[in-house]
Chain A
Amino acid sequence: MGFITFENVEREYHIGESIIKAVDGINFNISRGTFNVVLGQSGAGKTTLLNLLGGMDSPTSGKIVVNGKEISGMSEYKLTEYRRTQIGFVFQFYNLVPNLTALENVQLAEEICCDPLDARDMLRRVGLENRMDNFPSQLSGGEQQRVSIARALAKNPQIVLCDEPTGALDSETGRKVLRLIRTVSNDLGKTVIVVTHNAPISEMANVVLHMRDGKIDKVQFNEHPKDVEEIVW
């Protein structure tokens, strides 16, 4: 059994009369400390997968086990605790709290975790030591995403989930951000899962889960993941 295990996971949504299976019987294992990409077109079910893994949604059936604990079927409160302690989240649109400075956005993680990492140190790691007291509105998109990464990692989570982290950035900045995610999580031994529709990104992953129509089409293992610099998109 892996660090993260999905067993026959299904998630149905009722929209009016019709039932849509966003995730339709998924099985996979992910090992600790790896860099993984979930790849698929929009509507393939990757966001649902991310939501299920991130504890924001529960499967209709099947079993999700993370770090030896089953999270499928947890109560709302327990799921919040799970998100709080185990998950770091990097959003497509950064989602920084506009009323807090960069430093304070990272510090907010300190307040809810039992074993947080130092916020200033995290910002230094993402190269923002000089922008700590700036508000999000004073930062560029790439800088905001770096704050978001620092915030995700400062919680010292087991898993870092990234939802299209480069989606709103130009390719050069996107590249920098991806490298940052990779190196920092490598240094800290975190398990990373990046959800994207951007195929080239998958070349830098240890494991790529190809999704289509709510199912896993193919699981691809890269013996030698490429460095970000080698990838072109």
Chain B
Amino acid sequence: MVKGALFKKSLRDMQKSKSQFISIFIMATLAVFIMTGLDSIWYTVDKHADAMYESTNLSDLWITVMNPSEQQLWGVSRIDGVDLVEKRFTIDADTDLPGDPVLHVYALDDRSTLDQPELEEGMFRKGGGGVVLDSKFAEVHKLKLGDYISIKINGKWLRLQVDGLALSSEHVFAVKNSASITPNPSEYGFAIVSTGALESAYGQKVYNQISVKTTSDIDSAQVVQKAGEVVGDEMIGITLQKDSSSVSSVNSRIQQFKTLSVVFPMLFLLVTALITQSTMTRMIENQRSQIGILKALGYSKHSILWHYTSYGIIVGVLGSIFGLLTGPNIFGRIMVLQLNLTLNSYSLKINYGHFLFVLILILMCTGGVSFSACRKLLSDTPAVLLRDKPPKKGQHIFLEAIPSLWQKMKFSSKLIARNIVKNKGRLIMSTIGVMGCTSVIISALTVRTTLSGISDYTYGTTFIFDEKVVLDTTKTNSRYLKNLELDGITQQIEESALQVIFPDGSHKMEPVSITTGESPLVHLQDIDGNPVALPENGILMTRKLCSERDLNKDDVIQIKLTDKGYVSVPIVEIAYIASGQGIYMTDTYWESLGETFKPTALMIKWNGEPDQKFLNNDIVEDSATRESMQDSLSSSVGVVNFAVILLIILGSSLAFVVLYNTGILNFVERTRDLATLRVLGFHHSEIKYLVLIENYLSVFLGILAGIPVGRFISWIIASSIDERLDLLGNINLRDVLIAGVMTMFFAWIVNRIIADKMKEIDIFEALKSVE
């Protein structure tokens, strides 16, 4: 580093201005803490998920088709880029466990190599009659190896012995249906069996999916298109690995944290640069004559420049290292577990490449800023530097152009106004810090409010049934349901998924809901809250799906019909639905396309008590009250509370550090003036305001600026939080007020601390000579 004596000088200088250097250190630490913390979260998830996809040999796409023929399989395997083709069977099955949890069953062939379980205990006996069970599900339901579990398939109960406990690449993040936001192993899990184990339920081996592994370099869109042609009209749909429910959820988490790891550290980097700027500029001005002495002694320009740059570098490097040590370990380690992902390992992975990148940024914000602050003075000759500092200049300011206003102002207001104009940089710095604080708190609160608002919107505005009954489709049909004569209002709905070709040529399976045109229990609205009716001459698409696919009203998409080819349908309406993105259409329109309306669920609004006799009817597979669905939706929001608290702590640290710094600088620089005023008979409380009003002004401006920035951050978070939810991220007055009051509270605390420090002003300072 620098020569011994100069190095000692830097350490002593830092000791002298320790609160500023500690602030730079804290900001640099926080920037790296947040950046590496957030970065390690997605990086860890990404690495472990990829490793699991690799080790379980996860398919690249699945073609859903009932009992695929050998010809179809052969056809698919001949497609360019297809490496391996297997067939399997998947279905949701009820269990006999308490709480009626559902298992998603995968039946694999004896020689299968794709989509294997990631075994944790026991083994997968291919061709045997046992089951490999979701280990988290087993844990919650206290099932061990060797225990038996009964599942209901095709109306028949099968009793299977647990041979193994495992994880699945398709269940890293798996939710039961669109009504659940977070995985809940007590109600949903997976089971992997041999196709032979299900023979007793169907009387033969059955398959409904072709699993396809492609070579890595192939364009999957081409494979999808060709597979569609090969399989023909019998195809129900094709799901790419990245579109499958678990993989896409995991990827959206990764994306979300990637975004956050860019947005949040920016604020902290900016504040780091500003604090360094104000600290180093002041220090170098104060050391003007020392620089002169060093130059006179013969130190080269180069070494003096490096000396002052090293202040920033030392603090920046220390902060970065400390941030790197703490960020991933504290922030990352906790958050990875909060994500509710089921991975085979959570051991933390750190993206050192990104760390190096942020280190360079930090060094630019600390070292670079110090360098530029020092460079200005170096061009002067030692003689000039050793001469007395030019006296501090007063300056006329723009307010004086309005004499009527200026003359009415008290001297204290004039003093404050001039001081603010003189130290604009500092005001900007503290305003940005406060803005960061307010905006981070606003976004944290907004995300929380929007998430909890989803359940109210979904089950208060969109769906207003009392009970939703899942039907056994083999035992009922639309006409039967119409003649049920239940005491209440009912509405039939068919929920499934359709293969869709979008105008851009991409193929994807999208959820579809078909219901009656007269819709007493489903009230769709547009984004402004105006009611939207299901069209009779086309489909309705949710706003989020439209914006993802860049679709507008009157655009045309193609949907795959059962055992037929594709048909073009126009998007006639667009509606805002918070939870449950997809395509909506009426039963009459669906039937006009040549299909049959086969309701899978019945929504009921009872006039009086629920009809227990009906609920116990054979055709009822499952039923859930609106309250229970609403509860499960809102309970998952609890997870974000942790993040909210964390963000508030981070945000407030921004406000604390900048306000403390500007406050302290503001009075340390003017100790002599303030002491003079004390001698002249000003009370402590009057002097205090000369310094603190500036802080209050930056708090005021910062809060104002924080509102739009908070709106922007909320919007980024809301749009990336979950692809199945359409979160608007609109800020509301209550959250803004809370954030404002919190920010003011933090500011008040800091100002009290500074006011206390100001009591230490030595009145005799005024009598001493000018340094």
Residue ranges of A at the interface with B (Cβ–Cβ < 8 Å): 47, 51, 54, 56, 77, 80-85, 87, 89, 91-93, 95, 97-101, 104, 107-112, 135-138, 151, 155, 163
Write out the residue numbers on chain A whose beta carbons fall within 8 Å of the beta carbon of B392: 98-99, 137
Choose one: B391, B673, B679, B767; the contact of A92 (CB below 8 Å): B767
| Complex contact A104–B414 (CB within 8 A) | yes
| Complex contact B411–A104 (CB within 8 A) | yes
Write out the residue numbers on chain A whose beta carbons fall within 8 Å of the beta carbon of B412: 111
| Complex contact A136–B394 (CB within 8 A) | yes
- B207-215, B476-484, B680-688: which one contacts chain A? B680-688
Q: Nearest chain-B residue to A106 (Cβ)?
A: B411
| Complex contact B391–A98 (CB within 8 A) | yes
Choose one: B677, B679, B684; the contact of A97 (CB below 8 Å): B677
The 0/1 profile, CB within 8 Å of A marked 1, for residues 662-683 of chain B is 0000000000110011111111
B623 within 8 A of A: no
| Complex contact B679–A89 (CB within 8 A) | yes
Choose one: B390, B410, B419, B683; the contact of A99 (CB below 8 Å): B419
Choose one: B394, B680, B682; the contact of A98 (CB below 8 Å): B394
| Complex contact B680–A47 (CB within 8 A) | no
Least CB distance from A4 to B in Å reads 18
Write out the residue numbers on chain B whose beta carbons fall within 8 Å of the beta carbon of A97: 415, 673, 676-677
Q: Nearest chain-B residue to A148 (Cβ)?
A: B676
| Complex contact B681–A99 (CB within 8 A) | no
| Complex contact A80–B394 (CB within 8 A) | no
Residue ranges of B at the interface with A (Cβ–Cβ < 8 Å): 390-395, 410-412, 414-415, 418-419, 422, 672-673, 676-684, 686, 763-764, 766-767, 769-770
Write out the residue numbers on chain B whose beta carbons fall within 8 Å of the beta carbon of A101: 394
* Given A83-B681, A85-B681: A93 touches B391 (CB 8 Å cut-off): no
Write out the residue numbers on chain A whose beta carbons fall within 8 Å of the beta carbon of B673: 95, 97-99
Q: Nearest chain-B residue to A85 (Cβ)?
A: B681
Least CB distance from A111 to B in Å reads 5
CA distance in complex: A210, B770 (Å): 27
Least CB distance from B697 to A in Å reads 16
Least CB distance from A22 to B in Å reads 12
Least CB distance from A128 to B in Å reads 15
| Complex contact B683–A77 (CB within 8 A) | yes
Least CB distance from A229 to B in Å reads 29
| Complex contact A93–B770 (CB within 8 A) | yes
Choose one: B391, B418, B681, B766; the contact of A80 (CB below 8 Å): B681
| Complex contact B394–A51 (CB within 8 A) | no
Write out the residue numbers on chain B whose beta carbons fall within 8 Å of the beta carbon of A110: 411
| Complex contact A163–B767 (CB within 8 A) | yes
Least CB distance from B423 to A in Å reads 10
Q: Nearest chain-B residue to A107 (Cβ)?
A: B411
Write out the residue numbers on chain A whose beta carbons fall within 8 Å of the beta carbon of B414: 100, 104
Least CB distance from B191 to A in Å reads 77
| Complex contact A108–B680 (CB within 8 A) | yes
Write out the residue numbers on chain A whose beta carbons fall within 8 Å of the beta carbon of B769: 92-93
CA distance in complex: A89, B390 (Å): 26
CA distance in complex: A89, B362 (Å): 49
Least CB distance from B422 to A in Å reads 7
Write out the residue numbers on chain A whose beta carbons fall within 8 Å of the beta carbon of B767: 47, 91-92, 163
Q: Which 6 A-B pairs have the closest CB atoms?
A: A84-B681, A135-B394, A83-B681, A95-B676, A108-B411, A99-B418
Other A-B contacts than A80-B682, A100-B418, A136-B394, 8 sampled, CB-CB below 8 A, are A85-B681, A91-B679, A95-B676, A97-B415, A98-B394, A112-B682, A137-B391, A137-B392
Least CB distance from B161 to A in Å reads 85
Q: Which of B673, B680, B764 has the most CB of A within 10 A?
A: B680
| Complex contact A54–B679 (CB within 8 A) | yes
Write out the residue numbers on chain B whose beta carbons fall within 8 Å of the beta carbon of A91: 676, 679, 766-767
Write out the residue numbers on chain A whose beta carbons fall within 8 Å of the beta carbon of B681: 80-85, 87, 112, 155
Write out the residue numbers on chain B whose beta carbons fall within 8 Å of the beta carbon of A151: 680
* Given A99-B418, A104-B411, A163-B767: A137 touches B678 (CB 8 Å cut-off): no
CA distance in complex: A47, B414 (Å): 32
| Complex contact A84–B680 (CB within 8 A) | yes
CA distance in complex: A75, B393 (Å): 36
Q: Nearest chain-B residue to A136 (Cβ)?
A: B394
* Given A47-B767, A56-B764: A98 touches B393 (CB 8 Å cut-off): yes
Write out the residue numbers on chain A whose beta carbons fall within 8 Å of the beta carbon of B682: 80, 84, 112
Q: Which of A80, A100, A107, A137 has the most CB of B within 10 A?
A: A80
| Complex contact B680–A109 (CB within 8 A) | yes
Query: 11 A-B contacts, Cβ less than 8 Å apart?
Result: A54-B679, A80-B678, A80-B684, A83-B680, A91-B679, A97-B673, A98-B391, A107-B411, A112-B681, A137-B390, A163-B767
| Complex contact A99–B422 (CB within 8 A) | yes
Choose one: B395, B422, B672, B686; the contact of A95 (CB below 8 Å): B672
Write out the residue numbers on chain A whose beta carbons fall within 8 Å of the beta carbon of B395: 99, 135
Write out the residue numbers on chain B whose beta carbons fall within 8 Å of the beta carbon of A100: 394, 411, 414-415, 418
Q: Nearest chain-B residue to A54 (Cβ)?
A: B679
Write out the residue numbers on chain A whose beta carbons fall within 8 Å of the beta carbon of B411: 100, 104, 107-108, 110-111
* Given A98-B673, A100-B415, A104-B411: A137 touches B394 (CB 8 Å cut-off): yes
CA distance in complex: A206, B410 (Å): 39
Q: Which of B393, B395, B681, B767 has the most CB of A within 10 A?
A: B681
Write out the residue numbers on chain A whose beta carbons fall within 8 Å of the beta carbon of B680: 83-84, 89, 108-109, 112, 151, 155
Write out the residue numbers on chain B whose beta carbons fall within 8 Å of the beta carbon of A112: 680-682, 686
Write out the residue numbers on chain B whose beta carbons fall within 8 Å of the beta carbon of A108: 411, 677, 680
| Complex contact A80–B683 (CB within 8 A) | yes
Write out the residue numbers on chain B whose beta carbons fall within 8 Å of the beta carbon of A163: 767
| Complex contact A137–B393 (CB within 8 A) | yes
Write out the residue numbers on chain B whose beta carbons fall within 8 Å of the beta carbon of A138: 394
